Amino acid sequence: MHIKVNGETEKFPEDSTIRDILSARTLREDIVIVFLNGEMVRSETWNAVTVSPDDRLEIIKVVGGG
- Identify the band that residue 64 occupies on the pLDDT scale cut at 50, 70 and 90: confident
CATH number of the domain to which 56 belongs: 3.10.20.30
Residue 29 domain flag: yes
Residue 32 domain flag: yes
Structure confidence by residue, pLDDT tens digits, 7-57: 999 999 999 999 999 999 888 888 899 999 999 999 999 999 999 999 999
The parent domain of residue 42 ranges over 2-61
Cα 7 to Cα 34, 44, 48, 64, 66: the distances in Å are: 13, 24, 23, 24, 30
Residue 66 domain flag: no
pLDDT confidence of residue 66: 65
Residue 10 domain flag: yes
Count how many domains the chain has: 1
Q: Does residue 6 or residue 29 have the better pLDDT?
A: 6
